[in-house]
Structure 1
Amino acid sequence: MASAVSAKSLTSDPIPTTLWQMTWPVVIGVLTLISFNVVDTFFVGLLGTDPLAAVSFTFPVTFSVVSLAIGLGIGTSAVLARKRGAGHEEQARFDGLIALGVSALLVAILSVLGYLFMQPIFAALQAQERLLPLIEDYMLLWFAGATLLVIPMVGNAVLRSSGDTRTPSIIMASGGLLNAVFDPILIFGLGPIPAMGVQGAALASVLSWSIGTVLVLWYLHYKGLIRFKIPERAHPLNSAREILSIGLPAAGANMLTPLAMAVMTAIIAAYGAPAVAAFGVGSRIESLASVMILALSMSLPPLISQNLGAMQFERVREAYITALRSVLVVQLVIYLVLLVGAPYIANLFTDDPEVARLIRLFIYIMPLGYGMQGIIILTNSSFNAMHEPMSALALSIVRLFVMFVPLSYVGSLIADIQGLFIGGVIANVLTAAIAWRWFQRGMRKQRNEEVA
């Protein structure tokens, strides 16, 4: 399968056209994958409020592992794309192989630690004792298969670094489709397959990850994008260090999100299981509503990195501004759609009146800040593409722990859960303004370094 965008076109073709060609396949892939994750929540919701609340409690923990995988993918894409932009193709192929091995090892270590400390982690999240058996049923299988999650994610980053966003999107969509097929079969049972409840939802994920791992490794080998041969003056430790120098801060920045979510979950837990269940549903709706943001956060960095490698700074600035404008327009349209559909969405996920009311409240308020959140996320991914991971980490800290959590908590004190949601929106607006100015300063630094 040919790449939709060649490495050469990233540094020469018109920015809007190139960004669109790179982004639309990712939009389809992410939309399909997240849609089926929402389907996953839907099927678990059919089991009742307690299973839905139990799986909602797992989200901060599972997203910690996913965030590590995302961060390692960011580091992989930034390093490989910049080397390809500078013409160092053989080094990029070797670094891709190192990235896969290092990522699998780190996720395996994190999963073991998560398994060993499972009970104190969920106790700290204020999970009710009656929910703990359901949480453990889900997490035991999830941790066991987590290494199979990271390989497709980092493998897709290797593909994106070459300008190929179409193949990663197909792999993502395939995984989401398989998960949606496996979910009802394993959760409710079919023929000789017993009903496994929430454990079936975890097993469905692991099976889809396994197939994705096989697909991405085969395709990377087939396209020659990973190479076992060590190039001249290269060393595995140097390659790993270079990837981790961006990947670990990026992972740290991403892992701040589930940490903030854990704090938010603990705050919301004071309002009872219906509030936790509604917040879990709202978080998945947010993921679905943020498809364009997520897609651009994957397609924009290779474009920025390759143009930085080729020292084309005006193209970097144009790509960033084009992405931001696109996000603001799309998120406004999405908010209007959610506003109209809120009652139907709430009734789709639950028949509990209180959970439905809180889902509607979430939809009416939180998506108002998604456009601003998009500016923050794209600035963050741009910093990583510019090999400025500490700026990305600092921006994440400001967004989550200087703005989002404190302002949400203050809002909850003033106006209960409605105030909590409003505080989150205000936090996104303030942080987006900071992110814009921070990026301008980062671009000036890049120019000065190249001149020097």
Structure 2
Amino acid sequence: MTATGSIGLIAIFLVDALNLFYISLLGVKELAAAIGFSATLMFFTVSVAIGFTIATSALVSRALGRGSREDAAAMGGAAIVIMALTLAVLSAIVWPFLHPLLALLGATGQTLELATRFMQIVLPSSALVAVGMCTTGIMRGAGDARRSMYVTLSSGFAAAILDPILIFGFGLGLDGAAISTVLARVLMVVVGLHGAMVVHRLVAWPNLARLRNAARPFFVIGLPAVATQLATPVGNAYVTAEIARFGDDAVAGWAIIGRLVPVAFGVIFALSGAVGPILGQNYGARRYDRLMSVMRDSLLVTLAYVIAAWALLAIFRHQIADLFGATAAARDLIEFFCLFAAGSFLFNGALFVANAAFNNLGYPGYSTIFNWGRATLGTIPFVWIGAHHYGASGVIGGWALGSVMFGIAALIWCFRIVRDVADRAPPGPPLPGPPPASHSPFSTGKASTMLD
């Protein structure tokens, strides 16, 4: 599950990095900075889709774990409709305010105009992202990581081919990058619906009654998961605003770091996505004895992978900066990240895995608390102090340092939750009906009832 998820995610983010690389070849620093501001704003809408995908995967996997394929298909269809409508409405609300929102992030002058134009092209396709991501959640809930990977791989390959053609071949520049993004999302939807509907038959289009029945358990998990996911772009928006004080070169460096992170640590992102359905199916099947071993193995993989990736980033930091043509402040930030800040993903990885456990075991409120703590108390004071004393590099250092305490705290609390769930009942075959409700004040309770 992790290996195939890693391939799909890294392909997407690698293409995103190539997109920025192509733009950097045009030799206009405002273009790279515009991509950085746009990415920060797009992160908000994508985070909503990620949160709802978590709910989709959790509910589909639980239904399949207890042997109810009909419920799984009903939830799959309802989830697609809910996610598409939600992202379409959200995009329509945000679209008129793109200019002031980007200005609020610190974009000015030509950079502000370029970023606004890019977002005006890309933002209306947010509903496509929602549908594509929902289908990956359905297939991962069924344990089909390979076809889930195909969804993201197809999008990545499409963008990799279209980017240079539209940016250079047709001379469209930044507009070409935006159009490429939209077309890649269309292909993502086509491939995803084929896998979820045709291959797995886990999409039953809902009537109004089924949609109402599905909405409650979906939103009980989905809304806290969205709130959890929104914490990261909020924290990143604050970092972007602080970085913007040091000029477009610094923003361009931050944009490049934003592309490096998912490429270098895509395995960790994929691991948290893989852990969720595995926990969900075992939870639905009452195999509580497996929960603790899944968590321990996940953390061992996190530790080994982050140390290896961090070492490679540190060794090749100069070559990475050269690849993007980074100079001045941008180069300093990239090299600082590779040498020091990348190590913080030991703790970010722990937080990701803990969040997966919280969301799939009926405690999504805890993932919300820890993620927002990381994005506020773990970001704002550290970044402010770093910026005040050490400039742009201090911003990156503060951003990295804040993850330490919240990663450790989330991990400790997660093992306590898993132990409590595992001790609640002896291992055994699935029982009729939904899993027992959690006793936490943040419990979803009825989230696991599906459509029963």
TM over 0.5: yes
The aligned runs of 1:268-347 (5 Å cut-off) are: 268-347=243-322
Distance in 1 (CA, whole Å) between partners of 2:194 and 2:150 is 14
Q: Does 1:72 align with 2:47?
A: no
Report which stretch shifted further, 153-162 or 377-386: 377-386
Report which stretch shifted further, 96-105 or 126-135: 126-135
Pairwise CA distance, 1:93:
0.6
Pairwise CA distance, 1:165:
0.4
Q: Does 1:167 align with 2:155?
A: no
The aligned runs of 1:132-143 (5 Å cut-off) are: 132-143=112-123
Q: Secondary structure at the match of 2:203?
A: coil
Structure 2 counterpart of 1:173, which letter? L
Q: Secondary structure at the match of 1:255?
A: helix
The aligned runs of 1:51-450 (5 Å cut-off) are: 51-188=31-168, 190=169, 194-223=170-199, 224-228=201-205, 235-447=210-422
Contact 2:78 2:206 (8 Å CA) reproduced: no
Deviation string for 1:330-354 (max 9, x for gaps)?
1101111011110010011125344
In structure 1, the partner of 2:446 is: none
Q: Unmatched 5+ residue regions in structure 1?
A: 1-21
TM-score by length of 1: 0.90
Pairwise CA distance, 1:450:
5.5
Contact 1:78 1:387 (8 Å CA) reproduced: no
In structure 2, the partner of 1:46 is: 25
Distance in 2 (CA, whole Å) between partners of 1:280 and 1:91 is 42
Distance in 1 (CA, whole Å) between partners of 2:232 and 2:329 is 27
Q: Percent identity?
A: 29
Partner residue of 2:5 out of 5, 26, 44: 26
Structure 2 counterpart of 1:84, which letter? L
How well do the aligned residues superpose, as a CA RMSD in angstroms? 1.8
Q: Secondary structure at the match of 2:378?
A: helix
Q: Secondary structure at the match of 2:379?
A: helix
Structure 1 counterpart of 2:174, which letter? V
TM-score by length of 2: 0.90
Paired residues, number: 425
Structure 2 counterpart of 1:271, which letter? F
Pairwise CA distance, 1:151:
0.8
Pairwise CA distance, 1:403:
1.2
Distance in 2 (CA, whole Å) between partners of 1:444 and 1:334 is 31
Contact 1:33 1:175 (8 Å CA) reproduced: yes
In structure 1, the partner of 2:440 is: none
Pairwise CA distance, 1:297:
1.4
Contact 1:29 1:170 (8 Å CA) reproduced: yes
Structure 2 counterpart of 1:140, which letter? Q
Structure 1 counterpart of 2:66, which letter? A
Structure 1 counterpart of 2:295, which letter? Y
Deviation string for 1:396-449 (max 9, x for gaps)?
011111112322222222322333333233322211210111102322443566
Distance in 1 (CA, whole Å) between partners of 2:98 and 2:399 is 29
Contact 1:328 1:372 (8 Å CA) reproduced: no
Q: Secondary structure at the match of 1:311?
A: coil
Contact 1:26 1:165 (8 Å CA) reproduced: yes
Contact 1:26 1:168 (8 Å CA) reproduced: yes
Distance in 2 (CA, whole Å) between partners of 1:359 and 1:425 is 13
Structure 2 counterpart of 1:101, which letter? V
Distance in 2 (CA, whole Å) between partners of 1:205 and 1:394 is 33
Pairwise CA distance, 1:110:
1.1
Structure 2 counterpart of 1:151, which letter? V
Q: Specify whether residues 227 and 335 from structure 1 end up closer, same or farther in structure 2 by C-alpha distance, changes over 3 A only.
A: same
Contact 1:44 1:51 (8 Å CA) reproduced: yes
Distance in 2 (CA, whole Å) between partners of 1:326 and 1:308 is 22
Pairwise CA distance, 1:199:
1.3
Q: Secondary structure at the match of 2:362?
A: coil
Contact 1:59 1:258 (8 Å CA) reproduced: no
Q: Secondary structure at the match of 2:204?
A: coil
Q: Secondary structure at the match of 1:126?
A: coil
